[in-house]
Amino acid sequence: MKIITTIPQLRKTIATMRRKGRSIGFVPTMGALHNGHLSLIRRSKKQSDITVLSIFVNPAQFGPKEDYKKYPRTWPADIQKARRDGVEIVFAPTAHAMYPRGFATWVSMDKSITDTVLCGRSRPGHFHGVATVVAKLLNLVQPDIMYLGQKDAQQCVVLHRMVNDLNIPTRVVVCPTVREKDGLAMSSRNQYLSSAERQEAIALYQALCLGRDLIRNRERHASRICSAMRQHVQKNSRGVIDYLNAVDPATLQSLRKIRGAVLLAGAVRFGNTRLIDNIIVPTYNG
Ligand code: AMP
């Protein structure tokens, strides 16, 4: 496994792989690797000749009051996991290499998918940072396929859109959310939770499942589904709800009536830790 920290070194290695006709799968991450990340790596290993894993805690996607400084950094363990899972190249640039002095070019997207819905409302500018760093990484790695996790549903929609809109020649594959035994979505931020918060955090996934069950039982009013999900979190935890919403999976706009597939998505703060989760519910009947 090659560990690369500079852009010239990465470009050289990628050029060599391309000359040899190798297909490249790319898994962008911020490190603190868990089984969710590893599922993306495994998928890439199955479909591509070479798997490139990036580990980069991207300052541009954190708000001024967010956890950039204390975001978990577990480099030795990450490298061990990447090696064990057969990653060929780890790309871990410095913030300075990605954003040198004078950096002035950003990927700016329509706010209706980045800033006015779901996570974007409470994290304005977050997806601007995500889109910019991923555009840069795609230019550097030039992958055939990029692997993303469904856990970050809005990120998947935003990046799909960006790749299409900018005609980036990379296919986006979205992999299912990997969960703990009790259903909690795996996340690097779960390690911030106290044991009491950890127990309560399951209320978020339970609320989404409750919403799904209501839809399966033919409830079609989004407002009723959302209030049932909110009540569940409020009754079963001290979590502070950021949002619990039923939206169109393609546009992320709120739904009034359930018709076709629905994305049930939520963000809840347990103590100081903001967790997100979502499920897609197909509906086949009116
Ligand atoms: P992050 O390191 O949090 O930026 O995540 C890197 C990638 O891993 C993103 O595409 C995430 O959606 C994906 N990911 C994070 N958690 C999970 C999970 N529990 N299941 C599947 N994919 C995940």
Question: What average pLDDT is seen over the chain?
Answer: 97
187 Cβ closer than 6 Å to some ligand 1 atom: yes
Measured in Å, residue 20 CA sits from the centre of ligand 1 at 30
CA gap 135, 113 in Å, rounded = 17
pLDDT digits (tens, 9 = 90+) for 198-246: 999 999 999 999 999 999 999 999 999 999 999 999 999 999 999 999 9
pLDDT digits (tens, 9 = 90+) for 50-94: 999 999 999 999 999 999 999 999 999 999 999 999 999 999 999
CA gap 226, 143 in Å, rounded = 39
pLDDT digits (tens, 9 = 90+) for 88-147: 999 999 999 999 999 999 999 999 999 999 999 999 999 999 999 999 999 999 999 999
212 Cβ closer than 6 Å to some ligand 1 atom: no
Q: By alpha-carbon position, which residue is closest to atom 6 of ligand 1?
A: 29
Which one from 34, 37, 128, 232 is the annotated catalytic residue? Answer: 37
- The amino acid at residue 230 is R
How buried is residue 101: exposed, middle or buried, by Cβ count under 10 Å (0-12/13-18/19+)? exposed
Mutate to test the pocket of ligand 1, among 38, 152, 160, 182 (most ligand atoms within 8 A of CB): 152
pLDDT at residue 194, rounded to an integer: 98
